[in-house]
Structure 1
Amino acid sequence: MQQLASSENSAKKLHSSQESTGAVQLRIKSANSPHDRHSQSKSMILSDNLKVIEPISRHRRNHSQHNLTLAEIICPLEQTVIKEGLLLKAKIADGGKKLRKNWASSWIVLTGRKIEFYKESKQSAAANLKPGSKPESVDLCGAHIEWTKEKSSKKNVFQITTVTGNEFLFQSDIEFIIAEWFNAIKNAIEKLPKEISAVSKNKDFKIPRSSSSELLSNFEAESKEPKPENRRSLIFRLNYSISDTTDKKQVKSRLKKFINRRPSFKTLQEKGLIKDQVFGSCLHRVCEYNGSTVPEFVKTCITAVEKRGLDVDGIYRVSGNLATIQKLRFVVNHEEKLNLDDSQWEDIHVVTGALKMFFRELPEPLFPYCFFEQFVEAIKIQDNNNRVNSIKGLVQKLPRPNYDTMKILFSHLKKIAAKENKNLMSPQSLGIVFGPTLLRPEKETGSMAVYMLYQNQIVELMLSEYTKIFGSEED
């Protein structure tokens, strides 16, 4: 009791001294309080001559119930729009699973970290979005971008592959626009930290909000040295990685020696172990292999069509079954003999489709690239006789395999046109079918639509004036 009284007296003295200075008041609850000494608390009371500073709120309303994603911490500027515009888009894979390719026009918005897709401009699309819904987007972190020609027959196509296995194709007919998009997306990918890509594969990975003291304690715990029981496993992993690297070097060395010792492709061809394929090979090489100036496959197809296809409606215009055509292509490339009278090739449109594919896959078309502009200039001549003579002069300058193959093919197409009343294939229709297949420029330009008109007219003229250009069919 004496101690308690002395402590109360000292507290009163301290209280009186603080009141005189107006700085700090220490408030002690009565000893009769149920919490006794454990309920002591300090309160700060500022004097009148000092300004009261409002405490800053360290939290936002309802945000304590949400988690913060890693992307929000690492990429705070991801909402900054770098580029936006209209492109053709097709999604061809979702999580590694291939999808059917469907091209659709889409409004593309590129930000610092992702690409968003809208059906219309972003402002009008955002107004039409349902509350809580988000547009389709692509995370560029760890993504790969490249130009591609194999994934689509369209020109100016590039592909983006994400770390989650999603694949997108983008296309525009205007070269400088698609080039600008490619460079902008590539630069955005290169600016993103590489290590984020490994974390972004896990979509559910989130960092919960926590106080600074908790983050500091977690950081200190992680930065400590590994425990003794974990050191053994660490040493084992290091030794394993060293031995693994040694094994890889040995495998690379063996592969390099094997590649250096293997025979060349030319040697295998000379020994007859590998032969040139018919489809996709140069015309003169196929002719050399057949020992003729006209490929045997072309002769075989023409014979089959003239035997059972001259009266067929839409011959060469109607497409055959693509799977069967590819099967015929495989047989021609890997077998010595081909029998088109076999029941599996009974559809004559399969034969005509394979013949068109042969000419379409030639590395250089039947009308060589160096003659393309000359044929286009010749077809522009107004006088018909001069136009025919100019075309004839160019045809006679062609290499022998090109000339002989062209003569046989146009003779065959002339017979098709002669049966126009039954097969409905006029010289003009055949020109539309064979013009782009037999005659095309080496480099595509912006005037392809105009060139296509000239291609059709050249084939149509050569069919109509076959005798003047090539002579009689018996020659």
Structure 2
Amino acid sequence: LIPLVFRLNYSASDTNDRNRVKSRLKKFISRRPSLKTLQEKGLIKDQIFGSHLHLVCEREKSTVPQFVRQCIKTVERRGLDVDGIYRVSGNLATIQKLRFVVNQEEKLNLDDSQWEDIHVVTGALKMFFRELPEPLFPYCFFEQFVEAIKIQDNATRIKSIRTLVKKLPRPNYETMKILFEHLKKIAAKESVNLMSTQSLGIVFGPTLLRPEKETGNMAVHMLYQNQIVELMLSEYNKIFGSEED
């Protein structure tokens, strides 16, 4: 009889403890501040990776994300002659570490020894563009760019692409202009780094533009994606230059 009473008391006590824990958890969850509140109070830094392009630019009071500028500057200083630049993958764990640093810390030094491998920097830049909730080429423009690249007459095709590019939101246009100017410099060193405009189109096509919903033949879409980037690189001056050019 005594062991039974002991067990009953223990069971009742255990139930009370669990109820108290549940109650405390409910109170904690109800009092827990939202991510937005924590960000507003400055307790959590606004993310760079995974944020909309215009929001990153608004926060930085710029038209091109600072991280994009930093990566481009670093690659142009020590990566233009590197074989397979942007095609060769960097160590994913190190790229993820760089991503974490960018999202959590105010200052970033890409000349730090831990980012010595230039493929880590290029990998992080590609990841930034891949993780944009909406691509650099906004979804609503995707079909229009595809229709433009299908035009047979080269001069008309270039003019159509140029017209579309000029219609892009300013952060998208300015970021695209700087990125393509950079990639043009990469292609100019093709004899050393083996990265032609075609190679860069293959690497950046699916990263920079994609349909909101994958329908139809993905292989055909990919072909157009590559061709759009390739044309914009080879005809950069006509597409991004002033009207007089």
| TM-score, normalised by the number of residues in structure 2 | 0.91
Q: What residue number does 2:151 align with?
A: 381
Partner of 1:348: 118
Identity of aligned residues (%): 84
- How many angstroms does 1:257 deviate by? 2.0
Residue 171 of structure 1 corresponds to none
Is residue 2:198 matched to residue 1:428? yes
Question: 2:72 is aligned with what amino acid?
Answer: I
State yes or no: 1:327 paired with 2:69: no
Q: In the alignment, is residue 255 of structure 1 matched against residue 29 of structure 2?
A: no
Q: Quote how far apart the aligned CAs of 1:340 are.
A: 1.4
**Cα separation, partners in 2 of 1:240 and 1:404, compared to 1, 3 Å:** same
Where does 1:287-326 land on structure 2 (aligned, <5 Å)? 287-326=57-96
Counterpart amino acid of 1:466? Y
The answer for the alignment partner of 1:398 in structure 2 is: 168
Whether 1:363 and 2:94 are equivalent positions in the alignment is no
Q: How far did 1:239 drift?
A: 4.4
Per the TM alignment, residue 241 of structure 1 is displaced from its structure 2 partner at its CA by 3.5
For residues 147-226 of structure 1, what are the structure 2 equivalents within 5 Å? none
Q: SS state of the match for residue 159, structure 2?
A: helix
Q: 1:329 and 1:291 mapped to 2: Cα distance?
A: 21
More strand by share: 1
CA distance in 2, matches of 1:443, 1:238: 59
CA distance change for structure 1 residues 262 and 385 in 2, over 3 Å: closer, same or farther? same
**1:41-94 superposed Cα distances (whole Å, 9 cap, x missing partner):** xxxxxxxxxxxxxxxxxxxxxxxxxxxxxxxxxxxxxxxxxxxxxxxxxxxxxx
* Equivalent residue, structure 1, for 2:44: 274
Query: Residues 245 and 470 of structure 1: is their aligned pair in 2 closer, same or farther, counting only changes over 3 Å?
Result: same
The alpha-carbon deviation at position 238 of structure 1 amounts to 4.6
Aligned to 2:226: 456
Report the TM-score when normalising by structure 1: 0.49
**Counterpart in the other structure of 1:417:** 187
Question: Greater relative contact order (Cα 8 A, min sep 6): structure 1 or 2?
Answer: 2
Query: Secondary structure of 2:51's partner?
Result: coil
How far has the Cα of 1:336 moved from its partner? 1.1
CA distance in 2, matches of 1:296, 1:358: 12
Letter in 2 for 1:436: P
Counting only pairs closer than 5 Å after superposition, residues 64-213 of structure 1 correspond to structure 2 as none
Q: Per-residue displacement from partner, 1:133-185 (whole Å, max 9, x unpaired)?
A: xxxxxxxxxxxxxxxxxxxxxxxxxxxxxxxxxxxxxxxxxxxxxxxxxxxxx
Which protein shows a greater Rg? 1
Structure 1's 384 and 232: CA in aligned 2 closer, same or farther, altered over 3 A? Answer: farther
Determine the structure 2 residue equivalent to 1:372.
142
Corresponding pairs, count? 243
Q: In proportion to residue count, which structure has more helix?
A: 2
Q: Give deviations 1:317-336, integer Å, cap 9, x for gaps.
A: 11112222222222212211
Measured in 2, the distance between the counterparts of 1:363 and 1:234 equals 61
Deviation at 1:416, TM superposition (A): 0.8
Distance 1:373 1:236, change over 3 A: farther
Cα deviation for residue 297 of structure 1 reads 0.5
Amino acid at match of 1:305: V
**Structure 2: how far apart are the matches of 1:371 and 1:245?**
59
